[in-house]
Amino acid sequence: MGFAGQHIISIGDFSAEDIRELLRLAHRIEQDPPPDLFRNRLMATLFFEPSTRTRLSFEAAMQKCGGTVIGFSEAAMTSARKGESLADTIRMVEQYSDVIVLRHPRDGSARLAAEVSSVPVINGGDGANQHPSQTFLDLYTIDKLFPNCFAEHEDQPLTVAFAGDLRYGRTVHSLLAALSHFHVRVLCCAPHGLEMPDHHVRLAQQQGIEVQEVEHLADAVAQADVLYMTRLQEERFPDPIEFDHVKNTYRLTAQLLTHAKPHLRVLHPLPRVNEIARDVDTTPHACYFAQAGNGIPVRQALLSLVLGLAP
Ligand code: CP
């Protein structure tokens, strides 16, 4: 579909070539960031749910290249508290800004916002549904770690293992859909009841991707080139007792990594709670903090494309 003037709502809207275009641009921007790229452009960040990385890295991406930012990080301080609808909020903010980044607890909220907005809306996470800018930075990180793995004629499939809460974790839903364009093999390793939803697996399989369930984290560690860990999304569990049953069931430790391939790289969208032990941080496998840093060039690339400013 391309990017210029587009809303960024679901990773499913983008082709393999769109993704490669974004990754190429992010590489160029990372090497030589244009200081005035976003001069006279204003971004609004509307965050109805907590965030550290997504909001701050979008804001840093904009400001480092000469743009300005307005927004909020807490809906309680806005007129949503007085009952203003999301659609009306967007109809206001589109008049103040050139692009809107929205995070909202309801699935489908970003799509709704896009329907009423005349400026591009970027989905910064809608409920358990999608988080496309996170997916672009995940892909960028994997591409840097395994150069050419997303090339058109790559022979050797990359094995990507997803582990943790695959039911409520939106980042894994987006990433599985994106990886389905490429030559990968996917392993899914989740506590009982938190498996990857069937419709996401079916979509990937229809694209020709092998998706295999793996019961034990140790098996995923042993087979994977990339291990993508996720936090249990406590806030999305309908029943706290259900959460208590599964918490602490999946924990990656340095000891477990002694069975990994030497080149295994561990990613995590963060924040982590206790699913990755601190002793993993100092192993050569840990890449999650560098992954978060990649949010800057990737979001600069995304903003420049939707604003029609690509250098
Ligand atoms: N990865 C991510 O979305 O982090 P935040 O919730 O801190 O934005």
Give residue limits of the domains in the chain. Answer: 11-130+295-306, 133-292
Distances in whole angstroms, Cα of residue 311 to Cα of each of 17, 33, 294: 18, 10, 18
Residue 177's nearest CA partner among 213, 233, 221, 132 is 132
Name residue 238's amino acid. P
Ligand 1 atom with the smallest distance to the CA of 270 is 1
Residue range 47-71: mean pLDDT, rounded: 97
Q: What is the DSSP letter of 13?
A: G
Q: Residue 214: is its pLDDT beyond 90? A: yes
Q: Residue 208: is its pLDDT beyond 80? A: yes
Residue 251 C-alpha to ligand 1 middle, in angstroms? 20
Residue range 50-57: mean pLDDT, rounded: 97
The rounded distance, in Å, linking the Cα atoms of 184 and 139 is 12
Residue range 257-261: mean pLDDT, rounded: 96
Residue 186 C-alpha to ligand 1 middle, in angstroms? 23
Residue range 30-34: mean pLDDT, rounded: 96
pLDDT (tens digit, 9 = 90+) per residue, 178-205?
999 999 999 999 988 889 999 999 999 9
The rounded distance, in Å, linking the Cα atoms of 248 and 260 is 21
pLDDT (tens digit, 9 = 90+) per residue, 99-155?
999 999 999 999 999 999 999 999 999 988 899 999 999 999 999 999 989 988 767
The rounded distance, in Å, linking the Cα atoms of 15 and 195 is 26
Task: State yes or no: is 91 an active-site residue.
Answer: no
Residue 52 C-alpha to ligand 1 middle, in angstroms? 6
Q: What torsion, rounded to 10 degrees, do the Cα atoms 193, 196, 200, 205 define?
A: -120
Bridge partners of residue 186, in order along the sequence = 160, 211
Residue 38's nearest CA partner among 66, 70, 80 is 66
The rounded distance, in Å, linking the Cα atoms of 94 and 43 is 10
Between 100 and 245, the higher pLDDT residue: 100
Q: What is the DSSP letter of 11?
A: G
Task: State yes or no: is 82 an active-site residue.
Answer: yes
Q: What percent of the chain has pLDDT over 90?
A: 83
202 is written with which tokens?
């079916």
Query: What pLDDT does 155 receive?
Result: 76
Residue range 64-85: mean pLDDT, rounded: 94
**11-130+295-306 and 133-292 share one CATH topology?**
yes
Residue range 237-258: mean pLDDT, rounded: 83
Q: Which fold has domain 11-130+295-306?
A: Rossmann fold (3.40.50)
The rounded distance, in Å, linking the Cα atoms of 139 and 17 is 13
Strand ranges (DSSP E) for 127-190? Answer: 158-163, 184-189
54 is written with which tokens?
């997504």
Query: What pLDDT does 233 receive?
Result: 76
241 is written with which tokens?
């007792």
Q: Residue 234: is its pLDDT beyond 90? A: no
Quick check: helix, strand or coil at residue 157? coil
Nearest CA to ligand 1 atom 6: 51
Query: 90, 72 in Cβ contact below 8 A?
Result: no
The rounded distance, in Å, linking the Cα atoms of 225 and 127 is 29
Name residue 211's amino acid. V
Distances in whole angstroms, Cα of residue 7 to Cα of each of 2, 18, 307: 10, 14, 10
Task: State yes or no: is 28 an active-site residue.
Answer: no
Q: Which fold has domain 133-292?
A: Rossmann fold (3.40.50)
Nearest CA to ligand 1 atom 4: 53
Decide whether any atom of ligand 1 lies within 6 Å of the 54 Cβ.
Answer: yes
Query: What pLDDT does 192 receive?
Result: 86
The rounded distance, in Å, linking the Cα atoms of 135 and 306 is 16
Q: Residue 1: is its pLDDT beyond 70? A: no
Q: Residue 246: is its pLDDT beyond 80? A: no
Residue range 24-49: mean pLDDT, rounded: 97
Residue range 17-38: mean pLDDT, rounded: 96
Bridge partners of residue 160, in order along the sequence = 186, 226
Query: What pLDDT does 199 receive?
Result: 94
Bridge partners of residue 101, in order along the sequence = 45, 122
Query: 128, 233 in Cβ contact below 8 A?
Result: yes
